[in-house]
Structure 1
């Protein structure tokens, strides 16, 4: 099973986040210290805290975690090579997924300034669709495609090092399918949903027997209380 959790952060204070600061790996503690904006510090802390919550709750792993990184920066759990995770955040949402299957996730907020980036991420086929859409529909289309492409790039372990114009996203028999450099990616499952007004979320996973669970919303307070109860 790939477990998925979403945590809203707008109502969380930085002071409350720092209650769990000691649970962060050393590199993430340093990363928090480099952020100037409060919202960025909260996202960084909540992402790892949410990861720890999932590991304790669903995998019975109650230990201090450390992260290792691939060639292109993809994080993994040191000492647990069979467990894969992905973290994404945008606006007020932080989302974490954990499972035994290689996967990637992305959440994004729809916004108005998308046309300048069309050439950076769209294939010719996608641009031909986008130019026919009204403003709001074009914004949603942009964000929906972006989340698919970034989630797929995370699955590959490339992240933003992947050229998004090599990835073509299409609908086929009520499913989202991906073409990478014009070749259909047959061993990938794509699931997408709208989690709130103007927020789109996508998970891309290797096709396996590991089911993708429902996205569950959990508050930071619930995470904190769960952790304290185990101590």
Structure 2
């Protein structure tokens, strides 16, 4: 398989507002377990991300692998999901606010997306080791510090997700230089990192929520897995 693979990031257009009721029509193509998860969420944003992240995954399978079945999940150690009905492919998803990142690969991967934001002292202390803290403090401008922390945070989180490790793992023990295959992208005010079991080159592809929904409204994926 081609070494170069794609990371897709779902970014709403400026002032784009998706009505939750408009998204609910896509529940018919989600597996029962995903639908159950949708109704368990309380916050509207979580409900939206539940549907959109699944649609993004289906979109990737359609576009990059010519797979047109609705994927079902099983869960491994520490509840890391994997495909139940698609063999020899791995996936990972991540979201931050209303942005969603996803990738599918022929090797185990972990992906994380985070917006750059003000960092509390307690968070810095929990995440950065001494060397990383020195690097962080070497930046004098707050915006540069935010970028530095965001890069390190996504690198660590993507590696944890690739391993399928517990969320309780000590983030200070995960060092960038010790991660074999890691790549980070920066777009405006957020970062995306992907850790892969094997060496890969990745393209970053941006897609709007509108484009994603239009794709499925054209009937590309019409299987109903809720029966």
For the residue of structure 1 that corresponds to 2:77, the secondary structure is: coil
2-structure distance, mates of 1:222, 1:111:
28
For the Cα contact (< 8 Å) 1:105–1:150, is it kept in 2?
A: yes
Higher relative contact order (CA 8 A, sep 6+): 2
Pick aligned residue for 1:206 from 189, 197, 213: 197
Pick aligned residue for 1:85 from 91, 98, 106: 91
For the Cα contact (< 8 Å) 1:2–1:100, is it kept in 2?
A: no
1-structure distance, mates of 2:40, 2:201:
34
Cα shift at 1:216:
1.1
1-structure distance, mates of 2:166, 2:207:
26
TM-score, structure 1 normalization? 0.84
Cα shift at 1:91:
2.0
State the Cα RMSD in Å.
1.9
Pick aligned residue for 2:213 from 186, 206, 224: 224
TM-score, structure 2 normalization? 0.85
Q: Is 1:144 aligned to residue 135 of structure 2?
A: no
1-structure distance, mates of 2:123, 2:22:
37
Deviations 1:165-221 (A, max 9, x none): 11122xxxxxxxx32xxxxx4xx321111122x21111111234xx43311122233
List gaps (5 residues or longer) in structure 2. 223-227
For the Cα contact (< 8 Å) 2:62–2:68, is it kept in 1?
A: yes
For the Cα contact (< 8 Å) 1:90–1:107, is it kept in 2?
A: yes
- Structure with the higher strand share, 1 or 2: 1
Q: How many residues align?
A: 213
For the Cα contact (< 8 Å) 2:72–2:84, is it kept in 1?
A: yes
For the residue of structure 1 that corresponds to 2:78, the secondary structure is: coil
1-structure distance, mates of 2:184, 2:153:
11
1-structure distance, mates of 2:212, 2:166:
28
Give the structure 2 partner of residue 172 of structure 1: none
Cα shift at 1:159:
5.3
List gaps (5 residues or longer) in structure 1. 170-177, 180-184
For the residue of structure 2 that corresponds to 1:213, the secondary structure is: strand
